[in-house]
Structure 1
């Protein structure tokens, strides 16, 4: 099923890309461009997602540490 979806999405993407860039290609070339573009785009989005996930984890860790220090200081002030 994922291969069939890749072909369908790739075909639509290839069609749109060739129309936007005003390329005159055959149906097979349009499909090939779309599938290759879907693979490349998927890899790029996956890499960005991993980097954003790592950055998000770091920001979350810093915010958590800041909150912990703030709570610690408030508890020390009250005792």
Structure 2
């Protein structure tokens, strides 16, 4: 069940992050960005504060996905 929740939250976070950052990606890339963002953001938020609940995890997932997209765009510009 936790993996299913990670995919669902990751898909939502990836969708929101790609729209905010104006990145045109496919469904699989959007979900992958969201899941990676969920992992990054979740770790960062849990390390910095004691946020509990699904809302904190979702906020962390969106922030992580935004950070990942920003890094990806910077790397893409330099290549």
TM category, shorter: 0.5 to 0.7
1:45-60 counterparts in 2 under 5 A? 45-49=45-49
User: Which TM-score applies when normalising by structure 1?
Assistant: 0.61
User: Which TM-score applies when normalising by structure 2?
Assistant: 0.61
RMSD: 1.0
Aligned position for 1:38: 38
Aligned position for 2:11: 11
Larger radius of gyration: 1
Q: How many residues align structurally?
A: 50
Unaligned runs of 5+ in 1: 51-79
Ranked by relative contact order (alpha carbons within 8 Å, sequence separation 6 or more), the top structure is: 2
Task: Please state which structure has a larger fraction of its residues in helix.
Answer: 1
Runs of 4+ in 1 over 4 A off after TM superposition: none
In the alignment, is residue 20 of structure 1 matched against residue 30 of structure 2? no
